[in-house]
A and B are shown apart, each in its own frame.
Chain A
């Protein structure tokens, strides 16, 4: 999984950038390769930002269609993932704002389908032996309790390996603002997840 990284390679050496430039030159098969290469990243990002029970596939498809439509005007200013995530994140934001009345994440569930109530994240520790599947639900629920911009900043930084500058570019804000978002997000997540962490280590 990603950590904070700096973009070390020039854009022209980025695989996605190369494929976009090939597409610009008329090689349409490059777009199919682009989709294959980056579809997993797009899906995972959308899932972590939106939470479960959201139209992730529809949004991911629309994101790639927008990449296709922008092929003639595309200019490689950074890594392709930054470009893709900017498009995808805007779609996710529209989805979130359209679902204001709906809770972002459903109740996390254990492997046997029992519901972990939200208050479980703040007090009672889960039962011993929580498996990976439990953790996914717990983490999703914890992420869902963050404001959308904090959640997005953390997802881009931790899971997608974007640099502070790249996160700022995707979110349309400053690096200083991103640092603040990350600090608040991680503080809140520690509060929410610490009981589970301690229970697992007991």
Chain B
């Protein structure tokens, strides 16, 4: 005598198989067995070659044909002094004022006499004067 639970469970009909399922499985198998397409392979090879050529060209251009990445400066990089043309400073006084660069006493003295001509200043960019 079977338990009632078994009889109840038997009332679940399972799942019907969709029409054409077996054919779709066989199609998938056939697709797996097909050799890789030569055309696609060649296309991939050509794309790789083109990318490699482009990289080489860019590298060559950057090494020989491009403008310098940096414009060399006249001052000493990291140096402690800069050579300044007083006339240029005077002509750009307003700009310098905007940037509040004229609080330096030495610069103020210089601008009192614009006819002084070119005057070489040693303007320390860093305060290196320290009392020992």
A residues with a Cβ closer than 8 A to B are: 1, 3, 31-32, 35-36, 39-40, 43-44, 46-48, 56-57, 60-61, 64-65, 68-69, 132, 135-136, 139-140, 158-159, 186, 189-190, 193, 196-197
Contacts and interface: CB of A to CB of B under 8 A. Distances in A.
Interface residues of B, number: 23
B12 A190 contact: no
Chain B interface main SS type: helix
B5 interface: yes
Chain A interface main SS type: helix
B22 interface: yes
Interface string B2-34: 101110111111111110011011101100100
A61 B14 contact: no
A159 B9 CA distance: 8
A7 B34 CA distance: 38
Given A31-B29, A68-B29, A132 B17 contact: no
A31 B33 CA distance: 14
Interface of B: 2, 4-6, 8-18, 21-22, 24-26, 28-29, 32
Contacts, number: 75
A132 B21 CA distance: 26
A61 B28 CA distance: 8
B12 A136 contact: yes
B32 A65 contact: yes
Contact of A35 (B6, B12, B22, B32): B22
B22 A32 contact: yes
30 contacts: A1-B9, A3-B2, A35-B21, A35-B22, A35-B25, A35-B26, A36-B22, A39-B21, A43-B14, A43-B16, A43-B17, A44-B15, A46-B15, A47-B15, A48-B12, A48-B15, A57-B18, A60-B21, A61-B28, A65-B28, A135-B8, A135-B11, A139-B9, A158-B6, A159-B9, A159-B12, A159-B14, A186-B5, A189-B9, A197-B4
Nearest to A135: B11
Contacts of A43: 14-17, 21
A132 B11 contact: yes
A139 B11 contact: yes
Contacts of B2: 3
A132 B10 CA distance: 10
A32 B12 contact: no
Contacts of B13: 132, 136
Contacts of B24: 61
A57 B17 CA distance: 8
A157 to B, nearest CB: 10
Given A158-B6, A193-B5, A61 B11 contact: no
